[in-house]
Every structure is written in structure tokens, then in C-alpha cells.
Structure 1
């Protein structure tokens, strides 16, 4: 490596190792040689070389506006632009955060140990939170027809209401073991019911897609 401006071409660094070659040392650093990790130490400047990152273009420039007679080498790795992810955002009123916490805790206590991987656990956790939020929303002013989702299925809604009843009883009296056991049983049943109903709605959705020419017609 050499820096034309520093005059280090074909010289050795502080460790007695000959510099490798920079094709352009002031703007774009192009490294030639093998693909082993390399750290090049100079008398006034240390070079950090990313040899194992062939997919990145590293742009370097000298920084001189320091509060001493030293300078630094600024290295920039441009990151390509990515498409924005469309994430569903859910809002929970502050007054209902405690109820949401109790709702999730009751579900987790009933289903803990039944998941074999993190993806299924987080997927069910997301469904639980979404069901709670969707169930607490009031009617909105909209001209669009309400889409059928498995979260609004009457069986799930009834099961959620039953679970909420036992939760309120248990929160009022933590020593009520019958309410606690009933809450655990209903929470476990709700998880199984949600998976069953979601599969039914998903198959119904796929059937509609097969009858149309595009997803926009569904």
C-alpha cells in the first residue's frame, strides 16, 4: 500500500513490512494482493483495510482539520438504498397499557414451554397483541367495507371476552386459584383456536385469489 501524498511508495512501515499498493490514495482506495486481513501501521497514520468485504466500495479521504499537527484517514462505506418496509403500526391508549400487559402475561404463562423456536413464539405474540388492539378499537368513520379477518371471528371474540372476565377476577383477587386456572385453560384454548381459524381464513383467501386475475381484485 502506498500513499502518493505521503511519499510512502515502496517503503516499509514501522513493523518492517513493505507497503502494499494503493492505486488512488486520496479519494478511492483500491487494494491489490491476497485476501488476508491486513492492518498496516504507519509512522503518522494507521490504515484499516477491509479485505474480506469485496461487495463494498470503500471511499477514503484525508482529514486535516484536527487540533494538532496530525491528520487522519476517514473511511466511508456507502450503504445502498433499500426499499422501505411496510410495517403495520398499532396504537394502544395509555389507559389500557396495564390491561395489555396483563393480557400478554396471562397468555405467556399459559403457553410457555409449548414453542420450539423463536419465530413461532414471536408470531403468536404479535397475534395476541394485534387481537387485543383490534378488540379495543371503536368504530371508525370510513366508506371502505370492513375486511374480514380471523381476529374478528365470533369464536375468537367470544373466547377473548371469556378470558378477559377471568383476568378481571384474578386481578381483583390474586388468591382466586379457580379464576387463575380457568384463565390459563382459556388462554391455551384461545391460542389453539386462533391458529385453527387463521388457517380457515387463509384458505378462504387463497380460494378467492385463484378466482381472480390479480390480488388487487380480492
Structure 2
């Protein structure tokens, strides 16, 4: 999950930050201990302390001696984070956001990195969207979906619903599970331009893989 392109403490801080903000709890929640976090990420306790210090400086957590580390709901922002990618089951998008459909390709060559998820396919439906809030770009999402499902997904649905909502509610597809992962990456020139940020800016790259009851991949976001 972690890369050698960015400091470990920074990547861990971003992952923990995303997890904390995804909770949106009204009550403080206790975080795992430093040792537990160190074991989770396979790093030293010192690295974990650096990561927690960064989050603490943002006001997202409160560290109480002998009691542990707790989230501070008062510091949760109402606006979503600027993200690269989309795990829509984790990060609920605000209804007021505007979504631009940049691409709706019903038959798109399957990227090499996704062939293991769609082993018998050479093509998949590809949808690219840019989410904005008050005219400001907030996140960029790319979905590769089974062709037979993709052809049933209209531009209107892409503008108004998350892909999980589209599959479950609009198409009536049964989703058994969604595997999510998050990591810090450096932003590519193409995406940096879309998000109005500098090239190589650190961003969170989120991946969600949806499976049906037969363990077949439906969507890779």
C-alpha cells in the first residue's frame, strides 16, 4: 500500500486522515494505539508518531496522555477532500456537487493493469467524471465496468449517482462486496490539470473493486 516515492509518515497521515473524515461521527472515537498502528503499517512507532502529529496539528485528533488518541468531530470539514480516484462507498458525495462526465466509452481497450480483474475481456466500459463543488474541482473518478452493464448506464445517471448507486439501485445488480484501498501518490500532469493543482502534488489514490455473488468483478474504480 505504501510507496517509496513519498515519506512514510506523510502517506500514513493521509490514510488515517481519510479514514477519520469518512466516519463523520458526532462523538469522539478512540484510535488504535501507536504500537497497533505500527504493526498495521509495518513501520516504526516513531513514524507513527510523526503521522499522528501531522493529523493533530490539523485539529482532527486529540491525544490524551494515558488515555489514548481520539477523533475530534468539531474539526471535521463539511466539504469533501480533494481526491484522485473514488471509493464512493466510503466517501459519500454531497448532493450539491456538480459532476461533469468527461468520457462515456461503452467499449474501451482494457488497461493492462486491469486485465487480472477482467481476465476474459479485451474491452470494458469506461467512464471518467470530474466532481466539483461551487465550481471548484474536488475529485476525479475513473470507472471500468463490465460492457453489458456499461451500455445501460446513461450520462444522466453518471451525473447524479455514484457508481455503487447506479449498479445497485438503478440497474438492480447484486453486489456481494466492495474491496477498498487507499494510498498516497504523486499527481500526474493530466489529472493535475483537471484538479487545478500542481503536477506531482501529493494526492490520495483510492481504489474500489465491486464483486457480484459469483465473485465476478463488476466495476473497478
TM-score tier by shorter-chain length is under 0.3
TM norm structure 1: 0.19
Quick one: higher RCO (CA 8 Å, sep 6+), 1 or 2?
2
Q: Which structure has greater strand proportion?
A: 2
Q: Which structure has greater helix proportion?
A: 1
Pair member with larger Rg: 1
